[in-house]
Structure 1
Amino acid sequence: MLRKTQFLLKFMRFTFLLMAIAGLGVVPYGIYQILFPGTPGNVVMLNVRQRLTDSESFDEAQQQVAGGKPAKLLLHAQTGTLVVQEPNAIRRVLLRLVNAEKGPLPLLVAGVVFALLMFKILGDIKPGAPFTAANVQRLRWLAVLLLGCEAYQRVASWGMQNYLSHLAAPYTDQLLPNADFGTSLISSGLTAAILVVLASGYQRGVELTEEAELTV
């Protein structure tokens, strides 16, 4: 059983190391895309979605299928790329920051930090000494990282939606950002709370280990 546990820990640690290395390869590309987007002038490309105004409702589709019609696919939104000219340099950078081709750059960086923290946490879990003070701090940092990502997504989603609604172009007030802004605040908060409780448990384990060493 101990061998299986050690193998599993090593496998997971290796997996997180690969994730961190892959992320470190993607992040520079994302930065390059922000600094050198390859678009002419002040043009910015934004990933957006728009609700289809002529789409059927759930009730209509249910009634039709219940009446013998074949299965129906309901399309609620269409996605696309909005090409805009933004003269403000700072705003251009911010827009490209949350619309990077490989994903929002802050979330990519957070993913690398997460993988590195998990790599270090698993590396410090050893037979006979599972509790370390360093891992207590790392678990707390994971909770902070998770809440930070949630705060970023809320602010980024609000900022993008506000920007789209104020563009002087037809139908842009009906657009929504089509980016990775969809996590649940409840799930993120619960996960962060679990990490804090786990860190407290680890802290108590560290204290008990130190007391046992002093007793010996």
Structure 2
Amino acid sequence: MNTSPWYRVEWDRGDNTALRVVLGVGAALVAGFAVLSPLLGVLGVTGQDGAGRTVPLRGAATVAGSGGGDGIALNGTSQGEVTFAHPDLAQRALLALPEFFSGVLLLIVAYLLYRIVRTLAAGDPFVPDNARRVRAIAVTVLGLAILRPLLDMITTGQLVLGTAVEDQVSVEATFSSGPVLLGLLIAALAEVFRRGTQLRADAEGLV
């Protein structure tokens, strides 16, 4: 007869190791492609000429090639690609900032998930720290969903300010409902963890 408390989770060492490996690989990919790569691009270490960003347009783009000699080009109709032939340090930083910001937040999520996985090894996920971690993940995901589009808007505005394409680029923030709903779902899960922790404490108090 199994006498383990209801809140104990059957989680063997193989499951725990596999999940840690998946989280580790995911964190490494995020660190490499979304954090380190943009940082190296800002520093000019990659040695690649030309950089750009997809932007919404007010109409069909009419500036192409060198863009009047300032090294900027814009091509597209309702949505286009603004490119810089030889971006300077400030332009590289503005281009990389949104991606770098997203990468850092995703690394925070990966770290919090890793801490939660460690508690699964003990078979007891319903601990106060996990409730706080899941709540922090929800806040991070919501922050990514809201702040990333705003950061795209701000940096795009600065990139095209005073250039030949300024009047054609629509500087606006485009929000997606998917990440917002995901953040709210994780927030609901955090409440489940909190209630589970409370029920566990009540059950132990009756013993």
Q: TM-score, normalised by structure 2?
A: 0.66
- Alignment: residue pair count: 180
- What is the aligned partner in structure 1 of residue 52 from structure 2? 46
Counterpart check, 1:20 vs 2:27? yes
Counterpart check, 1:104 vs 2:104? no
Q: Which runs of 5+ in 1 are unaligned?
A: 55-74
Q: Which runs of 5+ in 2 are unaligned?
A: 1-8, 62-76
- Work out whether residues 10 and 123 of structure 2, in 8 Å CA contact, stay in contact via their aligned partners in 1: no
User: 1:79 is matched by which residue type in structure 2?
Assistant: E
**1:39-79: CA deviations, max 9, x gaps?**
8xxx984324576839xxxxxxxxxxxxxxxxxxxx86553
Q: Please, which moves more after superposition, 76-85 or 191-200?
A: 76-85
| Offset, 1:195 | 1.5
- What is the aligned partner in structure 1 of residue 84 from structure 2? 82
* Pairing partner for 1:35 from 43, 46, 60: 43
Alignment partner of 2:53: what SS?
Answer: strand
| Offset, 1:20 | 1.4
1:156 & 1:5 partners in 2: Cα distance?
42
- Work out whether residues 121 and 135 of structure 1, in 8 Å CA contact, stay in contact via their aligned partners in 2: yes
* Pairing partner for 1:124 from 110, 119, 124: 119
1:25 & 1:188 partners in 2: Cα distance?
22
- Work out whether residues 42 and 92 of structure 2, in 8 Å CA contact, stay in contact via their aligned partners in 1: yes
* Pairing partner for 1:211 from 199, 202, 207: 202
**1:137-173: CA deviations, max 9, x gaps?**
111111111121123222222213433553231x442
Cα RMSD, aligned residues only: 3.7
> Once superposed, which parts of structure 1, at least 4 consecutive aligned residues long, lie more than 6 Å away?
2-6
| Offset, 1:176 | 5.8
| Offset, 1:7 | 4.9
Q: TM-score, normalised by structure 1?
A: 0.64
- Work out whether residues 30 and 105 of structure 1, in 8 Å CA contact, stay in contact via their aligned partners in 2: yes
CA 187–85 in structure 1, closer or farther in 2 if over 3 Å, else same: closer
